[in-house]
Structure 1
Amino acid sequence: MVSSAQAREKYDQLVDRYEEIFFYVGDTGRRLIEFAAPPPGSRVLDVGAGRGAVTRAALALGCSVTAIDASPKMIERLVEDHPEVTGVAMDAAHLDFTAGSFDLATAGFVVQILDEPAVVLAEVHRVLAPGGTVALSLETQSVGRLGWFQELTLEFFAPATSEPVSPPPADTEASPGPMTHDRLDALLAETGFLDIERAPVEMPVPIADPPALWDWLMPRGLAEIQETLPADRRAEFRTRFLQGAQTMHDDGGITLDFAATLHRARRP
C-alpha cells in the first residue's frame, strides 16, 4: 500500500504515459460502467480518476461526473480533455462532499494501492445517496507463466539473506498483503454495503518475441530497476531475461495473462 503523497508523486510523473503503460484501464473502465449500469443523468463520483477511463464511459451514458485524484496533474489534464467534468485534486480518505451527494461512486484499479482502503470505502458510503451504487475494479495479481521472470528479478534485486523466506500466509481478514477479491468483498460488507456482486475480466496480451517482451516491460518499471545494477550485472540480467523469454516463447508463445474483477454493491 502507498500513502497519498507517494501516489501523488508517482502519478504526476506518469500523466503523459499513464494509459499507454497501463494499457488495460481504458477497456476495463468501459466494462466497469457497463457493470454499474447507471441511468442517464446519474451523479457519478469517479475516485482516482487518472486520465479518465471510467469518466469517459460515464459521460458517454449521459452521466454528470465529478472526478477526483491525488495527482493534481492528472486532474488538470482530465479537465482539459473533458471541460464538462468537475475535477478536483483530493485525498480519497477525506472526501470534501456532503452526505448523499452521488448516485454512483466508481474507483478503477484504486483500492489495491490505498494505504487505508476501509477508510476510503467508508467515505464513499457516506457520500452516496441511499440506494446508490459503488463499482470498483481490482487487478488480479498472478505470476502465471512469468514465474521465471519473478525468480530472475528476485535473484538479481532481492537483498541477500541467510534465512529462507517463508511463503506468505493464505489471505484472511487478519493477514496483511495484496488486496484480493474476497477481501474486497468482505470490506464492502463490513462498511455496510449490500447486494455485493462481482464479475471476472480477462485481458490477455500476446507478445511477438523475447525482444518485444523486453521493450514492452521497459517503460513499465524494468528500465528503472535495471539501472540500479552495475553495467556487467545489467548485461547479464538482460541476457538471462532473453533466455527465459525464449524458453517461454518456445513453450506455447509469450502471452501476458492480465485479469481483473469488477465489484458492485448497494448502499442501503
Structure 2
Amino acid sequence: MTSTEQGRRKYDELADRYEEVFPYVADVGRQLITFAAPQPGWRVLDVGAGRGAVARAALDRGCVVTATDASQGMVARLAADFPDITARQMDAGRLDFPAGSFDLVTAGFVIQVLADPGMALAEAHRVLAPGGMLALSLEKQSVGRLRWLYELASEFFGIPVPDDDDENTGAMTAKKLTVLMTDAGFVDLTAEPVAMPVPLADASALWDWLAPRGLGDAVRSLPDERAEQFRDRFLAGAEDMDTGGGIKLDFQATLHKGLSAAPS
C-alpha cells in the first residue's frame, strides 16, 4: 500500500468522528475564514476539506463553496451534511478545475500531511484568478510541557523526541511554508499565530484522550509486563503534570495567506 493509499484509508476510517478526535479543527476553520475575510459571492475552493470545518465557515459568509478531499469517506459525509457545498474526491496536487476558477483557495491543516506540498501550492496558484487569495492553517509541532511524555515514548517505542526549534527535522514549519508559497508565485504574504488549548481534568482523562489517537495501539504492541510499566509511568508523569499547573494540551498553529501574482 502506498503512503497516499494509507492516508486515504486512515481518513476514511476517521470520517464519522474526525472532529471529535480533533476538536480544535472547527474553531480554527472559522478563524481561517475570518483571517481570509471573503466577500459574499466569492468562489471558494477548500482543499483537503475533511468534514467541512473551513468550507462551512465560508458557506456561512455567503460564498459559493467547492470542497475537495482525497478521502471518499470524507467527501460522502461532507456532501450529505452540507448539500449546498459541491464536494468532490480529488488529490490536492491534481485539481480538476480550469485555471482562474476561484477567488479564494483554502486548506485547513492539510499542507503538512502532503507528500508534495509544492505541487499542491502550484495547483492552488493555477486555479486562482489573478489577485486571488490562498489561505492556509498549519499545525505547529510543539513539545512544551509534554516533554516527559515524548521522552517516555522514546524510551519504550524508540520515537525521537522532537525539538521545538529545529528547522531540520523534516516537519513543515511556518518558515518553510513561507518559502514554498513564495516559490509557487504568491505575494503579500502574512501570517498570525493561533493557540488551541485543550484542558483535561486529570491523568486518566489524558490517557483517554491519547488512547484512540495511537497510544492504545502502541501500548498493546508491547509485552504485557512492559505495557503495564508504561501505563504506570504514564499515569505518574501525568499526575506530576497535573499538580504542576494542570493538564492542558497546548496545540498551536499559524494562519497564512497570500495573493496570487498575475503571470509575468
Q: Does the alignment reach a TM-score above 0.5?
A: yes
What is the aligned partner in structure 2 of residue 255 from structure 1?
248
Pick aligned residue for 1:186 from 179, 189, 192: 179
What is the aligned partner in structure 2 of residue 19 from structure 1?
19
Pick aligned residue for 1:200 from 193, 197, 204: 193
Relative to structure 1, is the Cα distance of residues 229 and 59 closer, same or farther in structure 2, using a 3 angstrom cutoff? same
Taking the aligned partners of 2:161 and 2:180, their CA distance within structure 1 comes to 29
Taking the aligned partners of 1:168 and 1:254, their CA distance within structure 2 comes to 19
Relative to structure 1, is the Cα distance of residues 3 and 36 closer, same or farther in structure 2, using a 3 angstrom cutoff? farther
Matched, 1:240 2:256: no
What is the aligned partner in structure 2 of residue 30 from structure 1?
30
Q: CA deviation at 1:168?
A: 10
Scaled by the length of structure 2, the TM-score of the pair is 0.94
Q: CA deviation at 1:127?
A: 0.4
Scaled by the length of structure 1, the TM-score of the pair is 0.93
Taking the aligned partners of 2:153 and 2:19, their CA distance within structure 1 comes to 25
SS at structure 1 position matched to 2:15? coil
What is the aligned partner in structure 2 of residue 89 from structure 1?
89
What is the aligned partner in structure 1 of residue 48 from structure 2?
48
Relative to structure 1, is the Cα distance of residues 257 and 6 closer, same or farther in structure 2, using a 3 angstrom cutoff? same
Taking the aligned partners of 1:170 and 1:143, their CA distance within structure 2 comes to 12
After superposition, the CA RMSD in angstroms is 1.9
Per-residue CA distance 1:156-185 (angstroms, 9 max, x = gap)? 1118xxxx99989942xxx56000001101
What is the aligned partner in structure 2 of residue 264 from structure 1?
257
Check the 8 A contact 2:102/2:132 in 1, yes or no. Answer: yes
Taking the aligned partners of 2:162 and 2:21, their CA distance within structure 1 comes to 32
Aligned partner letter, 1:95: L
Taking the aligned partners of 2:213 and 2:162, their CA distance within structure 1 comes to 28
SS at structure 2 position matched to 1:96? coil
Relative to structure 1, is the Cα distance of residues 165 and 224 closer, same or farther in structure 2, using a 3 angstrom cutoff? closer
Q: Identity percentage over the alignment?
A: 59
Taking the aligned partners of 2:67 and 2:17, their CA distance within structure 1 comes to 19
Taking the aligned partners of 1:265 and 1:128, their CA distance within structure 2 comes to 11
Q: CA deviation at 1:106?
A: 0.3
Taking the aligned partners of 1:263 and 1:167, their CA distance within structure 2 comes to 22
Query: Which consecutive unaligned segments of at least 5 residues does structure 2 have?
Result: none
What is the aligned partner in structure 1 of residue 62 from structure 2?
62
SS at structure 2 position matched to 1:142? coil
What is the aligned partner in structure 1 of residue 205 from structure 2?
212
Count of residues in correspondence between the two structures? 260
Pick aligned residue for 1:223 from 212, 216, 220: 216
What is the aligned partner in structure 2 of residue 128 from structure 1?
128
Per-residue CA distance 1:33-63 (angstroms, 9 max, x = gap)? 0000110011001000000000110000001
Check the 8 A contact 1:103/1:129 in 2, yes or no. Answer: yes
SS at structure 2 position matched to 1:57? helix
Check the 8 A contact 1:4/1:91 in 2, yes or no. Answer: no
What is the aligned partner in structure 2 of residue 6 from structure 1?
6
Taking the aligned partners of 2:196 and 2:213, their CA distance within structure 1 comes to 17
Relative to structure 1, is the Cα distance of residues 242 and 190 closer, same or farther in structure 2, using a 3 angstrom cutoff? same
